[in-house]
Structure 1
Amino acid sequence: VCPEDSNDSSRFMDLWYTFVDPYATEVDEMGTDEANKSVGVLRIKDGRKIIDAYEWKHDNDVHLLAQNDELIIYELHVGDFHEKFKDLTTKIEHFKSLGINAIILMPIRQTVQYSWGYNPRYSFAIEHTFGTTYEFKEMIDNMHANGIRVLVDGVYNHADVSSPLAQIDHDYWFHHEPKDIQNSWGPEWNYQHYDAKYNVWPARKYVGDCIRYLVQEFHIDGLRFSSARFIQNFEFLTLITQDVKKLAGNKPFYCAAEYIPEDPIITVAKNGPMDGLWHEKFYTTIKDILIMNDDNNRVSLDQLKLVIDGRLQGYSSIQNLVNYLSNHDHNRFCYDIFTHIKDEQTAINRLKLGLLLLTTSTGNILLWMGDEYGEMKAKSIEQSKLDWTLIPTNDFNKNLFSLWSKMLHIRQKYMHIFKTLNLKFIHENSDQQLLVYDRYENNEHILIIINFGSLVKNYTISNIPSKGIWTDLLSEHNYHLMDESNQLTFDVIEEKQGFILILNRQQ
């Protein structure tokens, strides 16, 4: 290196930079976080490069997998959930008993030390602390054999500051400056940069290769695009989502975005790139109503209806939305409920209302690991492992798990109704803070009754869609409507109580 204004060759000197091959599929960090000391690992068999020797066994079990409008997703961090990929396989019966049909793994690309994975350093390498690529594939294969899809959370807005391409030529692949300094987490991929000399979009090609490798090599069933609003390039997102769906073949593949604030413009139905998006508005609305709202404030039924029926926000498909009461960005729902509401029975009643709204609103469902049995730890970006001893030893945790399981299995059993957009608000009482809506398909009806108000006696609900015997799927109590009045009268509706009634037999 020599200053440009100098012709003195004696002032030249060699500077050597060491970095890992950006396409390395395995990286040995040599026990340090210093990127210049890491080495890429190449595996050779019979004279050819291989990733591993795994042979897929359940690729033909596509019929066991839920479609994109039937997803009940369990979000987890591999290390905190248990520790390794192979540990997930030991929890398959837990997943099936709970009633989920998909898991989504927080980022699994190799990063530094312990982290949530949102600062990926090596784009093609799998986080080695979770296990080998062989074990990753084996876990996915076993999930597929049990009807559980495997989705992965991907970070394609930015990379770690020590990632190889940031060291090689930062401004060739990344923006020189952050697009938004307040929301910058590392070098940001420049999807607008086109190299006319080599006829290539550098960032698009590299990130696209990374995504295609993940889908093709590991047979995953979907991707979440973290911080998608900051990527600011629908053209690239459209091309890559189309590519991965082709790679998936006849298997359903789900592409969803973290796109906050939400806007249906990112969905395929609005000519956008994504099947759906994380429905943050659902989370904030339900939290405000059930946790932050005290009894002196009125619940806005209009705001609630917006998140129950996605069509009111411009969404046109169940797969457009992923509803949740919590995810990795927030405290667990159970933690917030029982922290803010000291009376246990009151807290349980509100938690039941939250579950009732989650399982009956339009959209797919997501729950955050540990919420299903009441893991009472606040959100932490530090290591925070689940305590699996709670379920078998504690009645509170067992009962909470049973409640989640019951609600999710109701969703599964009546998926043919819940996967439609058939929803009608049939009764609304702002003074009592009570709302009733009907989910239906042909002559099948499920009524959801939500009382945010105080206890009320001899309450009559009108506009019941059919006479007959209505059975509460939670209490199994029967309500008889035998005349043409289209009215059901309840002796008592408790404070913060909900019902889910199915038309058990028409008269």
Structure 2
Amino acid sequence: MPSSIEFKLFAPNVSKQISLIGSFSAWNKVSMTKHDDGYFHVNVDLDDGEYEYKYRIEDGEQDIIDPYATRVDIKRQVSLIRIQNGKRIVDTYEWKYDDSKELPVENRDLVIYEVFVADFTEEGTFQSAINKLDYLSTLGINCIQLMPVFEADEGHDWGYVTRHFFSVQSSYGRSEDLKQFVDECHQRGMRVMIDCVFNHSHGECPLTKIDRGFWYYTGLHHPDHPNEVWGPEFNYEHEENGIKPAWLFISDVIRFYIQEYHIDGIRFDATKQIDNHDVLRHFDRLSKELKQNFYTVAEYVPATSKMCKPNGPLDGVWVGVGPNIVEQFSNVNQLEAEKMKSMIDPRYDGKESYEKITNCVTFWACHDNYRLIHWLADKLKYFDRQAFNRLKFAAVILLTCWGVPMIFMGDEFGESKKKEETKTVLKLDWSLPNNRPNHSLLDLYCCLIGFRKSSNALKSDNLSFFYEHIDNQILAYVRWTNEGERVVVVLNFSSINCYRKYRIEHWPQAGKWLDLIDGFTIDVSEQGPEIDLNELKAKVFVWKG
């Protein structure tokens, strides 16, 4: 028996007639009625099943895909609706594991892994990515950040120019596949964040065709930066009759992905261009009302604590430090101690007022930057053993420095494909860990990630530098808790000098200390330990009492 299904389109400034057309009407027009709330409405009696439809604005005969369509056929340029038991549904997926395993309680516990679905596996789908989750679990990852999953351009694309906000990228799979991916992540104790582009959209986004000036700036938001325009820019300042259209639409998008897909966090792309702390605070507040411990992170270049709580709108900001370590690696004769301290602890120089480690998501590389291995090869001409020694050195810093660490997919085993344009296919080479240097790097990441997750000291807000020797290029710092846990990191930045029985003065605590990476215990006197430091060697010591 058919059920009455409502179709509606928000277009308060459109005076022309809008009609519904679809497979259920043999593509004949069904007139819609405009109500005082600004919506065009119509109810259609439909049997259970799947139907194609779109809206048509009269006179110009312009057809529009539903901006709230949860599935879209890009090739046919139609919205899809599914009816089951007389109601509109997204899909029939039943959550299996979502509440079966406790997720990381605090955002400070996270070790984030950034994934571009298209290149993560040979198939480039959600389903094939599920097959890699056991690998990520063994690695110790407890949070996966997916690059944009909204429907964007066809083919191989990063997805940073969204066409359809409520429909997942069809080349990755269907809505059921994304849900199963999240479900399987939660079953393994992993959170899932998604990268969301709310500064702009694709020029073919349906909102641009309904009433562009209602949702978007009619000109450039920042005319002094024309190179930072990637599509029509949402106008979060615009308000009509008590409604802020862009606020309303993007709020609905956030609500949908939290409630429908059970996501655990959002990275907000291009917040410098959004340039509106009020709307970002609203998005953060909305997210946390819907899900406890939801993690909100800004992309803002260059990174600034102004984006972070308690005074900023979001929990944290991306902090990329790859160029800093490359600059130090290129300086073989001197330790740039102040720069390295600011890299390891972004609060050090006093220029930024970060308060919690969750204010900083720290990384060497991401989708937008060259991998560290490329910096080493292209700029410094380091290859093979020389490169991997530096990659290991950098891994120790990343997993022990101040902030929440993030690893770009493949960096943990030395993926070497070079970043190109957004549409270039660069599949991860999953055979690399079969090589001894790559496998050794992967083993180190497993060791460091596992330790970081178990160490309250590394997840604390405490970090102090207690030793430096500029000429010898040695730096040491301690992470600690008020309950007595101590972790010391000693870094020999020299690529030339190795030291035997080198005395590290001002050691924070006498007693027994475990050399985490090499696996033996040393006795430390009040004068500090005498340790061996090979060139470009990073050591981690854990106090055992």
Fold shared per TM-score above 0.5: yes
Instruction: Tell me whether 1:124 sits opposite 2:166 in the alignment.
Output: yes
2:228 aligns to what? 183
Match for 1:386 among 400, 408, 428?
428
**What is the CA distance between 1:374 and its match in structure 2?**
1.6
Alignment of 1:51-70 (within 5 A): 51-61=90-100, 63-70=102-109
Amino acid at match of 1:147: G
Match for 1:146 among 188, 204, 224?
188
Instruction: Tell me whether 1:436 sits opposite 2:481 in the alignment.
Output: no
Structure 1: how far apart are the matches of 2:410 and 2:541? 28
**What is the CA distance between 1:486 and its match in structure 2?**
3.1
Amino acid at match of 1:68: N
2:152 aligns to what? 111
User: Structure 2: where are the runs of 5+ without partners?
Assistant: 1-57
Structure 1's 430 and 294: CA in aligned 2 closer, same or farther, altered over 3 A?
Answer: closer
**What is the CA distance between 1:343 and its match in structure 2?**
5.0
Is the contact between residue 466 and residue 486 of structure 1 (CA under 8 Å) also seen in structure 2?
A: no
Question: Secondary structure in 2 aligned to 1:311?
Answer: coil
Structure 1, 13-22 or 401-410: larger mean CA deviation: 13-22
Match for 2:332 among 270, 295, 303?
295
Question: Secondary structure in 2 aligned to 1:176?
Answer: coil
1:100 aligns to what? 141
Amino acid at match of 2:238: H
Structure 2: how far apart are the matches of 1:203 and 1:29? 24
Is the contact between residue 467 and residue 504 of structure 2 (CA under 8 Å) also seen in structure 1?
A: yes
Instruction: Tell me whether 1:464 sits opposite 2:464 in the alignment.
Output: no
Cα deviation per residue 1:39-68 (whole Å; 9 max; x = unaligned)? 000111111100011122233346233521
Instruction: Tell me whether 1:350 sits opposite 2:411 in the alignment.
Output: no
Structure 1: how far apart are the matches of 2:328 and 2:167? 43
Alignment of 1:153-192 (within 5 A): 153-178=195-220, 179=222, 180-192=225-237
Q: Per residue, is there more helix in 1 or in 2? A: 1
Amino acid at match of 1:140: V
Is the contact between residue 236 and residue 279 of structure 2 (CA under 8 Å) also seen in structure 1?
A: yes
Is the contact between residue 335 and residue 375 of structure 1 (CA under 8 Å) also seen in structure 2?
A: no
Alignment of 1:327-406 (within 5 A): 327-339=366-378, 340-342=380-382, 344-380=384-420, 381=422, 382-391=424-433, 393-406=434-447
Amino acid at match of 2:332: D
Amino acid at match of 2:370: N
Question: Secondary structure in 2 aligned to 1:42?
Answer: strand
Structure 2: how far apart are the matches of 1:385 and 1:465? 45
Question: Secondary structure in 1 aligned to 2:347?
Answer: helix
**What is the CA distance between 1:389 and its match in structure 2?**
2.7
Alignment of 1:407-418 (within 5 A): 407-414=448-455, 416-418=456-458
Cα deviation per residue 1:182-224 (whole Å; 9 max; x = unaligned)? 210000000000012xx21111111111121111110000000
Structure 2: how far apart are the matches of 1:346 and 1:394? 16
Structure 1: how far apart are the matches of 2:337 and 2:173? 48
Count of aligned pairs? 473
Cα deviation per residue 1:291-339 (whole Å; 9 max; x = unaligned)? xx2414x332111111222333311001100011110011222343345
Is the contact between residue 256 and residue 274 of structure 1 (CA under 8 Å) also seen in structure 2?
A: yes
Is the contact between residue 258 and residue 277 of structure 1 (CA under 8 Å) also seen in structure 2?
A: yes
Match for 1:254 among 287, 295, 311?
295
Q: Identity of aligned pairs, percent?
A: 33
Is the contact between residue 255 and residue 276 of structure 1 (CA under 8 Å) also seen in structure 2?
A: yes
Structure 1: how far apart are the matches of 2:392 and 2:440? 12
Question: Secondary structure in 2 aligned to 1:64?
Answer: coil
Structure 1: how far apart are the matches of 2:313 and 2:331? 40
1:310 aligns to what? 346
Structure 1: how far apart are the matches of 2:64 and 2:231? 18
Match for 2:85 among 46, 50, 53?
46
Cα deviation per residue 1:22-49 (whole Å; 9 max; x = unaligned)? 111110012xxxxxx5000011111110
Question: Secondary structure in 2 aligned to 1:103?
Answer: strand
Amino acid at match of 1:494: N
Is the contact between residue 358 and residue 404 of structure 2 (CA under 8 Å) also seen in structure 1?
A: yes
Amino acid at match of 1:452: F
Amino acid at match of 2:164: Y
Once superposed, what is the RMSD of the aligned Cα atoms?
1.7
Structure 2: how far apart are the matches of 1:28 and 1:142? 27
Match for 1:425 among 445, 458, 465?
465
Structure 1: how far apart are the matches of 2:407 and 2:394? 12
Structure 2: how far apart are the matches of 1:253 and 1:97? 24
Amino acid at match of 1:189: F
User: Structure 1: where are the runs of 5+ without partners?
Assistant: 1-12, 31-36
Question: Secondary structure in 2 aligned to 1:278?
Answer: strand
Amino acid at match of 1:373: F
Q: TM-score if structure 2 supplies the norm length? A: 0.84
Instruction: Tell me whether 1:229 sits opposite 2:272 in the alignment.
Output: yes
Amino acid at match of 2:235: N
Structure 1's 331 and 66: CA in aligned 2 closer, same or farther, altered over 3 A?
Answer: farther
Structure 1: how far apart are the matches of 2:335 and 2:219? 44
Superposed structure 1 runs of 4+ greater than 4 Å apart: none
Alignment of 1:207-218 (within 5 A): 207-218=250-261
Is the contact between residue 338 and residue 344 of structure 1 (CA under 8 Å) also seen in structure 2?
A: no
2:74 aligns to what? 29
Is the contact between residue 185 and residue 192 of structure 2 (CA under 8 Å) also seen in structure 1?
A: yes
Cα deviation per residue 1:402-451 (whole Å; 9 max; x = unaligned)? 1221221121221x111111211111111211111111123221110011
2:110 aligns to what? 71
Structure 2: how far apart are the matches of 1:481 and 1:352? 25
Q: Per residue, is there more strand in 1 or in 2? A: 2
**What is the CA distance between 1:165 and its match in structure 2?**
1.0
Cα deviation per residue 1:88-113 (whole Å; 9 max; x = unaligned)? 22112110111111100000000111
1:445 aligns to what? 486
1:5 aligns to what? none
2:176 aligns to what? 134
Structure 1's 144 and 236: CA in aligned 2 closer, same or farther, altered over 3 A?
Answer: same
Is the contact between residue 283 and residue 323 of structure 1 (CA under 8 Å) also seen in structure 2?
A: no
Is the contact between residue 370 and residue 418 of structure 2 (CA under 8 Å) also seen in structure 1?
A: yes
Cα deviation per residue 1:337-393 (whole Å; 9 max; x = unaligned)? 3453435333222112211110111110101111111211000221211122333x4
Structure 2: how far apart are the matches of 1:288 and 1:407? 24
